[in-house]
Structure 1
Amino acid sequence: MPHYESEPKINTSITTGDWRDDLFRDGFAVVKGVLSPEKAQSYKQRMFEWLETFPYGFKASDPSTWGKDHLPENMKGGMYHGYKVQHEKVIWDARCEPAILDVFGKLWGTDELLVSFDGMNLTLPAADMPPSEPWPHVDQNPNRKGMQCVQGILNLAPNGPDDGGLVVVKGSHGMNETFFKLHPETKGAGTWGSLDWHGFNEQEVGWFKQRGCEEIKVCADPGDLILWDSRQIHYNKLPVSGNVRAVMYICYTPASFASKEDLEKKASCFQDRIGTASILPYRCGQRSNNLQTHWPHANIFSQVDKHIRLGKPDLYRRDRPAHEPEENKLILKLAGVEAY
Structure 2
Amino acid sequence: MPDGITSVPTPEPVFPPFEYSKLLDKANFGDWRDELVTSGYTVIKGAVPRERALEARNQAFQWLEDFPLGFKREDPSTYKNEHLPNHHKGGMIHGYGIGHEQWVWNLRTEQGVIDAFAKLWGTDELIVSFDSAAVMLPNRTDVVDAGRWEHIDQSPSRRGLYCVQGILNLNECGPDEGGLMILKGSAALMEEFFDHFGRGETRTWGPVDFYSFMDHQHQWFFDRGCEWVKVCCEPGDLILWDSRAMHYNVRPTGKRDRTCAYICMAPAKLLSDEDRAARKLAFEEYRGTTHVPFAALHVRPHVPGIRVDTGLPDPNDTGIPREPRAASDTVLKLAGIKAY
Shift of 1:176: 1.0
Q: Which residue of 1 aligns with 2:65?
A: 52
Shift of 1:63: 2.6
Q: Contact 2:182/2:247 (CA < 8 Å) preserved in 1? A: yes
Q: Kindly provide the amino acid, as one letter, of the partner of residue 298 in structure 1.
A: A
Structure 1 unmatched runs, 5+: 278-293
Residue 225 to residue 7, structure 1, CA distance change in 2 (3 Å): closer
Q: Kindly provide the amino acid, as one letter, of the partner of residue 319 in structure 1.
A: G
Query: SS state of the match for residue 115, structure 2?
Result: helix
Identity %: 43
Q: Which residue of 2 aligns with 1:35?
A: 48
Q: Compute the TM-score of the two structures, normalised by the length of structure 2.
A: 0.89
Q: Which residue of 1 aligns with 2:219?
A: 206
Q: Compute the TM-score of the two structures, normalised by the length of structure 1.
A: 0.89
- 2:156 pairs with 1:158: no
Describe the superposition over 1:47-106 as per-residue Cα deviations: whole angstroms up to 9, x where unpaired.
001112222111223332222210011011101011111111111000000111001101
CA distance in 2, matches of 1:4, 1:339: 25
CA distance in 1, matches of 2:203, 2:100: 31
CA distance in 1, matches of 2:258, 2:24: 34
Q: Which residue of 2 aligns with 1:284?
A: none
Q: Which residue of 2 aligns with 1:283?
A: none
CA distance in 1, matches of 2:242, 2:28: 17
CA distance in 1, matches of 2:195, 2:322: 46
After TM superposition, the structure 1 = structure 2 runs for residues 293-332 of structure 1, keeping only pairs within 5 Å, are: 294-304=291-301, 305-310=303-308, 312-316=311-315, 317-332=317-332
CA distance in 1, matches of 2:217, 2:195: 13
Aligned partner (choices 127, 142, 150) of residue 156 of structure 2: 142
Structure 2 unmatched runs, 5+: 1-13
Aligned partner (choices 253, 264, 275) of residue 266 of structure 2: 253
Shift of 1:270: 0.6
CA distance in 2, matches of 1:181, 1:83: 41
After TM superposition, the structure 1 = structure 2 runs for residues 221-300 of structure 1, keeping only pairs within 5 Å, are: 221-277=234-290, 294-300=291-297
Q: Contact 2:204/2:212 (CA < 8 Å) preserved in 1? A: no
Q: Which residue of 1 aligns with 2:75?
A: 62
How much is the aligned-residue C-alpha RMSD, in angstroms? 2.1
Q: Contact 1:152/1:251 (CA < 8 Å) preserved in 2? A: yes
CA distance in 1, matches of 2:268, 2:20: 16
Kindly report structure 1 stretches of 4+ aligned residues shifted beyond 6 Å. 1-4, 191-194
Q: Contact 1:9/1:108 (CA < 8 Å) preserved in 2? A: no
CA distance in 2, matches of 1:330, 1:253: 15
Shift of 1:242: 2.7
CA distance in 1, matches of 2:127, 2:22: 16
CA distance in 2, matches of 1:87, 1:206: 40
Q: Contact 2:169/2:237 (CA < 8 Å) preserved in 1? A: yes
Shift of 1:324: 0.7
CA distance in 2, matches of 1:216, 1:37: 24
Shift of 1:204: 1.1
Q: Which residue of 2 aligns with 1:26?
A: 39
